[in-house]
Structure 1
Amino acid sequence: MADRVCVGAIAGAFGVKGEVRLKSFCAVPEDIAAYGALFTEDGARFFTVEITRPVKNGLAVHLSGVASKEQADALKGIRLFADRSRMPALPEDEFYHADLIGLEVRDTGGTLLGTVRAVQEYGAGDMLEIHGPGLKSTVLLPFTREAVPTVDIASGRIVVDPPEGLF
């Protein structure tokens, strides 16, 4: 999936005419329709997206090939991916979540702390979910310049300066 980026997820049917409620992960939610065909995670299916209107917690959209409420209901929970080549270039200090997942995490002294398992978004800012050796559970680290001074995608690592006692 390195050549695709997760841009949204289907939250379920919206109405009875085959529309779905789509949660967009794009900075501008409506941009999800500008990336061409969107693929399921396994790549087995793809859809074109036609936004009909904004709704609470997402967008109401028509997906190609979905014409009934039952078909729309069957897609609930499906994540949609766009080809990376269709995505806009990012400024130097911004990253796609997909590029952060799997990166090695080291502290400023070089000690391996773990790897990024996921990037969580709880409303107040992104959090890196880190899992590593010696940790009983995953650790959530704020994805701020203070806590994460260096992100080096090319070398596959992140240098962090976590708050005292977090690890």
Structure 2
Amino acid sequence: MTDSDSPIKHTTPAEQPDMLRVCRIGRAQGLKGEVNVTVFTDDPDRRFAPGSVLVSKDGREFRVERSRKFRERWIVLFEGVTDRNASEALNGTELFCEADSAEEMEDEDAFYPEDLIDLDVLVGDDAATAEKIGTVSDVLDSPAQFLLEVRKDSDGSTALVPFVEQIVPEVDLEAGFVRLTPPDGLL
């Protein structure tokens, strides 16, 4: 990707492709330009692979030279960042990448959180006998996991449902529903 076709530089929202926040650069790591990053992607091995290009809000490109996972964090070296002063100057910079195409997502049987908004919410042990109780009105990113905000058909109130496999065992984008098996009292 070059500066001329950088997606973050499009002038109107209609021209700008979907951008995903990948990470926020944190403190410097050592003296040779490496930085710690706060990860916002569920695919850091791919996003931080050597040669990957990430883009800041102001259109600057950051090409990954190398990366490594250390305990529960990622340490990344970007091309052209060669010393501690340069890496400290990047502290707080958020980096983005273009969203995968719908075809790529379908091939991986994956989806983005915003794809869940407006899906019907069914409760039951299987989709054929489950009862529709509402719709997904939002997906919230909490420290522990994503939360589905469910707007209930019965009274318009909302409930927050942890987006974990034990409670949300099925997501069917094509059929337009998520199926829940919530513990008593959750809804």
The answer to whether TM tops 0.5 is yes
1:82 aligns with one of 75, 97, 112: 97
Gaps of 5+ in 2: 1-15, 123-130
> Given the superposition, is the C-alpha separation of residues 59 and 76 from structure 1 closer, same or farther in structure 2, using an over 3 Å criterion?
same
1:107 aligns with one of 121, 133, 136: 121
Check if 1:165 corresponds to 2:179: no
Q: Which letter maps to 1:165? A: G
Show the 5 A alignment for 1:1-150: 3-24=18-39, 25-27=41-43, 29=45, 32-33=48-49, 36-40=52-56, 42-51=57-66, 53-85=68-100, 89-90=104-105, 94-96=109-111, 99-101=112-114, 103-108=117-122, 109-120=131-142, 122=144, 126-130=145-149, 132=151, 134-135=157-158, 139-144=160-165, 147-150=168-171
> Given the superposition, is the C-alpha separation of residues 55 and 146 from structure 1 closer, same or farther in structure 2, using an over 3 Å criterion?
closer
The separation in 1 between residues aligned to 2:147 and 2:17, in whole angstroms, is: 19
User: What is the Cα deviation at residue 166 of structure 1?
Assistant: 1.5
TM-score, normalised to structure 2, is 0.59
**1:22 touches 1:61 (CA, 8 Å); kept in 2?**
yes
**1:9 touches 1:78 (CA, 8 Å); kept in 2?**
yes
Identity %: 19
TM-score, normalised to structure 1, is 0.64
> Given the superposition, is the C-alpha separation of residues 67 and 44 from structure 1 closer, same or farther in structure 2, using an over 3 Å criterion?
same
User: What is the Cα deviation at residue 89 of structure 1?
Assistant: 3.0
1:61-87 per-residue CA deviation (whole Å, 9 max, x = no partner) reads 22234344344234334332223359x
Structure of greater relative contact order (alpha carbons < 8 Å, 6+ residues apart)? 1
> Given the superposition, is the C-alpha separation of residues 128 and 77 from structure 1 closer, same or farther in structure 2, using an over 3 Å criterion?
farther
| Count of aligned pairs | 156
Q: Which letter maps to 1:134? A: S
